[in-house]
Amino acid sequence: MTVVQLRENGPWTEHELTPEQVTALSAAGLARVAPGPRPGLWRVRDNGLVGAARAGPAGDPVEIRVEPKTPIDRLLFLLGHARGVRGWRQEEVDAEGRPDLLPALAHAFARAAERALRQGVLLGYRETEEALPVVRGRIRVADQLRRRHGFPAPVEVRYDDYTTDIPENRLLLAAAHRLLVLPDVPAATRGLLRHLLLRLDGVERLVPGRPPPAWSPSRLNTRYQTALGLAALVLRGASYELDDGTTVRVDGLMLEMWRVFEDFVCVALAEALRPYGGTVKLQDKRHHLDRARRVPLRPDLVVNTADGRPSTVVDAKYKTGDTPQGDLYQVLAYCTAMRLHRGYLVYASKAETHTHVITGTDGLRVAETALDLSSSPDGLRAQVERLAHRIAVVDAAAVR
């Protein structure tokens, strides 16, 4: 097996690869691959993903490992704000200084699940429909007549069963199984995961290809919520979308950093803006660039006034360096369509900030701002809170 070690946004590196391995890496979008100086030698660079995965023929796969430029503890903090990951409590997540994403996430999940099950496996009610020799719960009369044709037994019934086979336990079980088949999970962590499987004996495994079951935070599952948040990350990292919208399953765990950063900015900024009143809409699909509504717009975050009118638009970009003109054009299109006087571009670790006054407009301003991802979690929170204050108070007063 060939191992390709990369760093996020790092330089091109040269590796000996077979044509089958190159085809697998390119088809899955796991890395960017270009011909090297001689046949058989290829230049490889990351493709915006971090983590570890295997691809290629079963007899001679290639394993790709991409180290994130963001420290692992900071990355886990960002992941805690991912949309759809509920019940996250970052202070309970311990990566123990592991430098790679997969071992760190596997360890954090195993420890969180161990704490969740320390008081016993969570039980809950699940509605079950089946045929029984005796009556239990309620008889499904229509099914009884259609399937049994007047015979008294077996009886088609519906009842609530108090069981461990509930969505919360199914998600923990699925994440544990997923991590056990991935490369680079340390032996000690594997031991914790196998113990978790024993504790969850009797819980059904998820059906491949089907969406994971939904669960709702409650007082009863509070102790599970951190582990469930990590489980969602593990299961989400098993697939991602290519640029054409195709969903790709990977034999590993890879995360799209642009999506991680976008989720963090949107969710954290929405929370920071809440005390200032009004409403915040994430991924707002109500707006169009043209009057015929043929060109849809989907800004990352729209701040609305108390009466529902848009007042500010924010777009997050996981980029560093010079501002691409396309980013400014994109925010300009948002502001034009929504008749706004200001918009914001939020970059990752961009050293300088600028405010552009747009020519030919009534003072429309597009502000470039930055979040330093090397800061501590408290430092990141403070940066987001300052940005929220600027949006809701400082710049709002300037355009009145």
Is residue 2 scored above 90 in pLDDT? no
Token pair 């043209």 is found at: 290
pLDDT (tens digit per residue) in 106-150: 888 898 899 899 989 998 877 676 776 667 767 776 766 667 766
Q: What is the pLDDT of residue 334?
A: 95
99 — pLDDT class (breaks 50, 70, 90): low
Lowest mean pLDDT among 160-169, 249-258, 306-315: 249-258
200 — pLDDT class (breaks 50, 70, 90): very high
Q: What is the pLDDT of residue 86?
A: 44
Asked whether 72 and 104 are in contact (CB, 8 A), the reply is yes
170 — pLDDT class (breaks 50, 70, 90): very high
* CATH number belonging to domain 258-398: 3.40.1350.10
98 — pLDDT class (breaks 50, 70, 90): low
91 — pLDDT class (breaks 50, 70, 90): very low
Lowest mean pLDDT among 152-161, 188-197, 257-266: 152-161
pLDDT (tens digit per residue) in 49-74: 888 888 888 788 888 889 888 888 78
The alpha carbon dihedral of 321, 387, 327, 332 has a sign of negative
Residue type, 89: R
Residue 161 buriedness (CB in 10 A; 0-12 / 13-18 / 19+): middle
Closest CA to 183 of 258, 259, 254, 257: 254
**Mean pLDDT calculated for residue range 91-118:** 75
Residue boundaries of the structural domains of the chain: 1-67, 124-163, 258-398
Q: What is the pLDDT of residue 243?
A: 52
373 — pLDDT class (breaks 50, 70, 90): confident
Q: What is the pLDDT of residue 89?
A: 44
pLDDT (tens digit per residue) in 228-247: 888 888 887 665 554 555 55
Asked whether 102 and 230 are in contact (CB, 8 A), the reply is no
The whole-angstrom separation of Cα 391 and Cα 265 is 14
The whole-angstrom separation of Cα 78 and Cα 89 is 12
**Mean pLDDT calculated for residue range 214-226:** 87
pLDDT (tens digit per residue) in 323-344: 678 999 999 999 999 999 999 9
Asked whether 236 and 51 are in contact (CB, 8 A), the reply is no
Check residues 321 and 5 and name the one with the higher pLDDT.
Answer: 5
The whole-angstrom separation of Cα 45 and Cα 15 is 10
SS3 breakdown of the chain: % helix, strand, coil, rounded to 5? 35, 25, 40
Residue type, 145: L
Closest CA to 130 of 172, 160, 167, 90: 160
41 — pLDDT class (breaks 50, 70, 90): very high
Global pTM reads: 0.75
**Mean pLDDT calculated for residue range 211-220:** 86
Closest CA to 84 of 283, 287, 346: 283
The whole-angstrom separation of Cα 251 and Cα 354 is 42
Question: What's the mean pLDDT when you consider all of the chain?
Answer: 83
Is residue 87 scored above 50 in pLDDT? no
Q: What is the pLDDT of residue 92?
A: 44
Token pair 């007047």 is found at: 150
CB contact set of 173 (below 8 Å; sequence gap of 6+): 196, 197, 200, 203, 205, 206
Residue 381, classed as helix, strand or coil, is helix
Is residue 299 scored above 90 in pLDDT? yes
Q: What is the pLDDT of residue 147?
A: 72
Q: What is the pLDDT of residue 88?
A: 44
Per-range mean pLDDT, top range of 41-45, 239-243, 355-359: 41-45
Residue type, 341: H
